[in-house]
Amino acid sequence: MALLSTTDFPLLIEKRDGSSHGRIDLHTHTQCSDGSLSPQTLIDRAVNYQIDVLAITDHDTLAGIDIAQRYINDQNIPITLISGVEISTIWQGFEIHIVGHNFDKNNDQLRQLITDQQQAREQRAITIGEKLAKCGFPDAYDDAKKSAGEGSITRAHFAKVLFVQGHVGTMQKAFDQYLGKKGRNTQKAYVKPTWCSIEQAIDAIHAAGGSAVIAHPIRYDLSAKWLRRLIVHFKDCAGDGLEIVLPQMPPQQRQTMLNYCLEYDLHASTGSDFHHPNKWSDLGKNLILPNGAKPVWAMWN
């Protein structure tokens, strides 16, 4: 899979249906991390939703990309797949997600970082399992591991186990009561992760020829002051953009994020953060970038 350039995206530049770019979704998950669809099923769904350009951005793994690309080639499916990844980082005690796009999957520096992050995930999962055992759920680790299979193990796998076994009423409650962290407040089975830094994530993505954006900046529960600090730090680390469009975002919030992009000369990305079919959002829905945004794909040349 060669790196793509702006000229590979006529559909995105042309106006279609009155919108400023074609159907694009640059943030999605598969069973290779905590999504519920296989890469193949995700591709089928994307085609049904008339997506022109899709990035698979699983948590700290590149495994889904090849599987999806092979399927696209074998079935001759009319969709452009972008290499992607969502890297967990730690900054000032906050877990910040960095999404990388359009990189060389075989780059050594990026692969090494992924290997380290996988080890951090395994290690953290073991400790989460020990803490949940103390809470009275001795099988949580084995069950979460089984559910993750070969994929990246995440807290979502633990949350699902607690929910399916009836220990909590919803997945959200599993985070609220056991796995989560709200502000400085940590729950019983929260484990401080040993993720890489923002700078390391950006450097690895850049080394592989890709672009790096802050994923869902609105979801970190940061005050305006801290969000600005994060953006300034990200910019100092040579980060490229912000994910300014997510489904279900009030226009005012979109505008605020666009203003940050303009103020700090950052590109803009858009994605659904699709994990599984639900009634509030889906692939490629409500993802048009606002006027004035510099799309992240404009730097792919």
Q: Interface residues for Mn ion in 23-52 (CB under 5 A)?
A: 34
- Member of 21, 23, 97, 155 binding Mn ion (CB under 5 A): 97
- Residue 175 near which of ligand AMP, Mn ion, none (CB within 5-8 Å, type-dependent): ligand AMP
d(CA 219, CA 114): 23
Residue type, 274: F
231 makes contact with ligand AMP (CB under 6 A): no
Of 245, 3, 259, nearest in space to 110 by CA: 3
Q: Interface residues for ligand AMP in 61-120 (CB under 6 A)?
A: 88
- Member of 25, 34, 58, 243 binding ligand AMP (CB under 6 A): 34
Kindly state the smallest distance separating residue 137's Cβ from Mn ion, in Å: 21
| Burial of residue 279, with CB atoms counted within 10 A of its CB: 0-12 exposed, 13-18 middle, 19 or more buried | exposed
156 makes contact with ligand AMP (CB under 6 A): yes
d(CA 228, CA 183): 17
Both tokens of 41, joined, read 């099923």
Count CB atoms within 10 A of the CB of residue 106.
Answer: 10
Give the residue with the Cβ less far from ligand AMP, 131 or 155.
Answer: 155
Kindly state the smallest distance separating residue 95's Cβ from ligand AMP, in Å: 7
Give the residue with the Cβ less far from ligand AMP, 180 or 284.
Answer: 180
CA–chain centroid gap for 107, Å, is 20
Kindly state the smallest distance separating residue 47's Cβ from Mn ion, in Å: 21
Kindly state the smallest distance separating residue 126's Cβ from ligand AMP, in Å: 13
Give the residue with the Cβ less far from ligand AMP, 156 or 287.
Answer: 156
- Residue 84 near which of Mn ion, ligand AMP, none (CB within 5-8 Å, type-dependent): none
**Alpha carbons within 13 A on the beta-carbon side of 294:** 16
Kindly state the smallest distance separating residue 97's Cβ from ligand AMP, in Å: 7
59 makes contact with ligand AMP (CB under 6 A): yes
172 makes contact with ligand AMP (CB under 6 A): yes
Tell me the number of residues near ligand AMP by CB under 6 A. 10
275 makes contact with ligand AMP (CB under 6 A): yes
243 makes contact with Mn ion (CB under 5 A): no
175 makes contact with ligand AMP (CB under 6 A): yes
Kindly state the smallest distance separating residue 179's Cβ from ligand AMP, in Å: 7
Kindly state the smallest distance separating residue 298's Cβ from ligand AMP, in Å: 27
**List of residues contacting Mn ion (CB under 5 A):** 34, 86, 97, 215, 273
**List of residues contacting ligand AMP (CB under 6 A):** 34, 59, 88, 154-156, 172, 175, 180, 275
